[in-house]
Amino acid sequence: MGAQWKAKPKEAAANARGKIFGKLVKEIMVAARNGADPDMNPRLRLAVHQAKKASMPKDTLERAIKKGSGQSGEVVNFERTLYEGFAPHRVPLIVECLTDNINRTVAEIRVLFRKGQMGAAGSVAWDFDHLGMIEAEATGADSDVELAAIEAGAQDFEAAGEDGLAMFYTEPTDLDAVSKALPEFGFAVHSAKLGYKAKNPVSLSGAELEEVEAFLEALDNHDDVQNVYVGLDAQ
């Protein structure tokens, strides 16, 4: 990234942590609409798992579940919306938002898209696969990512990168089952969600890549944006 932040390191870390918690709280509240018991609600179970991995305080987590499930008496009305289009240099992307005010969100997202091109529904979705995405880390030296994918029922996988995390892809309906199975085959799950994987990612480097990264960072920093899925193969 080309951006240089002037905030002090501790302050910047706190702000980043706050944004992560904000996104997770929204996801938990929406998931809890279908029940407050994670054991009976797969989507909530996955959201709670991600919150715990991010070290969300227990009281914050419990408050989000109570709000979402209606136990607190507060009305929560977040809607999930998708926006499609292109970043600079015709890089396709899908932006997933959770918002309590669609008119406000779409207006603000349009502004962020000015350096790219916002498209109609379906304009780039055809170039993405809708999949379950599971990030997991090997727990032993003999953990075999290919064997784990086959045994756990994953559709595909990407071997561990520099961060040590492997990515497992599943059918949307298999996400919960594969997440539960992977630890049996030597992989600790870090995150699991439904998302979009580009079929034909665009390759960029240098100044063009930096321009796209700055565009994506601005989108990701928007409070209503939950996920940004990009057809980008950075070189």
Residues 7-51 pLDDT 10s: 444 444 555 667 888 888 898 998 888 888 988 888 888 888 888
Q: Give the rounded distance of the alpha carbon of 67 from its chain centre.
A: 22
pLDDT of residue 1: 34
Over the stretch 158-196, which tens digit does the pLDDT of each residue have?
A: 887 666 789 999 999 999 899 999 999 999 988 888 999
Angle (CA) 48 52 54, round 5°:
115
Q: Which helix (H) or strand (E) holds 145?
A: helix 145-152
Locus of tokens 């207006």: 107
Q: Which listed CATH number (1.10.3430.10, 3.30.70.980, 3.40.50.150, 2.70.98.60) goes with 79-235?
A: 3.30.70.980
Tell me the pLDDT tens digit for each residue of 59-81: 999 999 998 888 877 767 888 99
Q: Give the predicted TM-score (pTM) of the model.
A: 0.81
| Residue 130 exposure: Cα atoms within 13 Å on the Cβ side | 9
% helix, strand, coil for the chain, step of 5: 45, 30, 25
User: What is the per-residue pLDDT across 110-128, written as a single tens digit (0 to 9) for each?
Assistant: 999 999 999 999 999 999 9
9-69 carries CATH number 1.10.10.200: yes
- Our measurement of the distance from residue 234's CA atom to the centroid of its chain's CA atoms, rounded to an integer in Å, reads 19
The structural domains of the chain, with segments of one domain joined by +, span: 9-69, 79-235
Strands 79-87 and 232-234: unpaired
